[in-house]
Chains A and B, each alone.
Chain A
Amino acid sequence: MLVIGMLRKAQSGAALLGIVGLAILISPTAADGSRIFLQVGNLTDILRQVSLIGIISLAMTFVILTGGIDLSVGSILALSTAVAAMGLTRAWQNAPYARHILLAIALAVAASALAGALNGAIVATTRIQPFIVTLASMIGVRGLAKWLTDNQNIDIGFGRDVAAEFAAVFREKAIAIGAYAVCAALFWAVLARTVFGRYVRAIGDNEKAAEYAGLPIGRTKIWVYTLSGLLSGVAGVLYAAENHQGNPNAGVAYELDAIAGVVIGGARLSGGRGSISGTIVGTLIMGILTNMLRLNNVDSNVEMMIKAVIIVLAVAVQRNSD
């Protein structure tokens, strides 16, 4: 169902197919003559590499649909890695491994959701522009993460302890990709099928009309930013496992990658237009592009320039079809 919806709705589906085709075409070949791009290991690498940004961009889609923006996701991710690492190394020393790990993850995700809820509460009650509110929390939450960790990375998983167990499990490709898939399915269902999802689209389409229709605008916005914080927290947990550390400097500029994925997927920054399927396609386009260029040994600075062109092109094409 999700896949069908994706193909039908995503205006950028054709672009995705084009990029995949190009990647196959120019892919270097392995010793046995097969194309490296198409190897299962490479394809799952792509999915794993986009999974963190992908998870963040799902909730970012909701935020952008309401006409808002969330610049604080990278900082919240850093907070989450720090809190998770602290929970694993400094608390609950006598708890069994499974419960200890769950508590640490829950604490990290809850702290992240709380930071998002604060964003949402300020946006909903003060009517300060979301850009400014989340710009402030991008700075403030980064400060909080650094203050909590005393500017230090907290290494995890280099011994034979609970942290090592955590890292061993959660750095698995299947876990990262699975988490992305589950979150995508949930967020797609929420947007397409629930009252909350309908409100999100309605508010972004015409907030004045939503007010006249008596919709719960404030409550909806608080939830949207809370979800954004929550998913940044989930991404932070995965980041900590993958990199074996709680890192208060993690996730810098992640907000921009997430926003890029959303807009390539066809969303308008002024709200009311965008979809989960489009965002997934947008995220995949960026991921495949990175992979394709790296397989062909393209300089990473050139890669950034090419990405810039792709972003503008993708959005320009959608303007015309609007």
Chain B
Amino acid sequence: MGLVNGVFGGTKRSTKRLVPLFVIKRITMQKQKKATSGCVLRRAYCAAFSPRFGTQQSGKPHRGFLSRRELMSSVAAAAAFTIVPRHVLARSGQSPPSEKLNIAGIGIGGRGAGDLDEVGSENIVALCDVDEKYAAGVFKQYPKAKKYCDFRVMLDKEGKNIDAVVIATPDHSHAVIAMTAIKLGKHVYCEKPLTHSIWEARQLTEAARKAKVATQLGNQGQASEATRLVCEFIRAGAIGQVREVHSWCNRYISPRGLDRPKDTPPVPETLDWDLWLGPAPWRPYAKFPDERGELVPYCPFNWRGWWDFGTGVLGDIGCHQLDPIFRALKLGYPTSVEACCSGVNEETAPLASIVRYEFPARGDLPPLTLAWYDGGLMPPRPAELEDGRRFGDADDNLYVGDKGKMLGHRLIPESRSKEYGKPPEVLPRSPGHHKEWLLACKGGKPAGSNFDWAGPLTEVVLLGNIAVRMSQQLYEKGLKLYYDGPNMKVTNLPEANKYIRDQYREGWTL
């Protein structure tokens, strides 16, 4: 990201969308010629952080360092827009880097507040939340912003005044909100996971590409130094070929392992329950016991464990934790996945689960098993780890190579880490996760976790939940779940495909 200015010249760019295609193509070709002339760092960046995900699925194997063009292939056209000088494409309402974006926040009471802080240098022109009470503090923080309860009303009334939206609602409403915004040509920052279902993730990815808006998923770790180090260590061969990665997370995200609550107190006056439900099947507002046994409502906070609204620990954290694994090891869609858990339940995610993905060979990278653990379960402690040293924290990744192991972004044991030192720094560093998106909105290059990257990543994460929900059937039938990624289809257990796409409530469509 630090290269944005150096490569692209920095100023006067726009994400202009209404340009005749031939103009763009011509400019693109000129710019690409210039850009590929010997910029090693930039090529490296593209290989590691290109938003093009899972290129092996398109039949093109990875070759380590691909040219930007090869990697970008189908998004090349979209990328091209980013380098068109503003003066050529000028249209009122577009923001060059010198101008501020007009941003609307949707779902602002929780994580949304933090996201808004990160983009607070821009104009926060509108705020939307179905829970007045939860959002009250943030409403107050931005006195000039117009306040809304229904995002559809907001986009309808303020549409012309909004350049970009930040979405931090519960998972089940990400897709309908993001799609509405994309169709209106708004740039979108959406919290992770991108969507509640695989089908939605695919639709958003394609729609964003078509609408040529700047997008970013809220997996801020992708912009970190740690993610770059993981890629650089592995690319430098510090642990040899990697055939096995373990990822675990022991966070408490929400009550889980529960049945549908029977305690249905009246909806608080400050909450629009019907809007909160959005496209999810209707159910009464309710309370249920959390881990301390205290009665809590679905919202705020306690919805993540409920399949109708959230996506469990894997959905919540997977897009963070699996991101560096996918980047460093160039993962695309898996060929198969299997899962086991502490009790399948149609209402909530289990208290603990293990999901095991098998990925095919990718170019010269060997096939890989990725095992995910949550609810306190962990992989075996590696022999390389010194006695008494904590094995990761509540969450971490363990990369098992044929020449060594890496815990998070540190080689183990510590003596090996000291001996090896740092890998060569070949990847450009990020100006910051939210900043990447803001720059992209203003005509910069695509953000590191734009939907071309984050959509497929989310798909794979959510596939794990399908394996969890089908785990008992899979066991009974003696199967792993085989998956056709490009066609979004479980090939050997048709019943599983019901989870690929959610049935929306009447009145809600993508």
A binds B: no
Could you tell me which B residues sit within 8 Å of A by CB distance? Answer: none
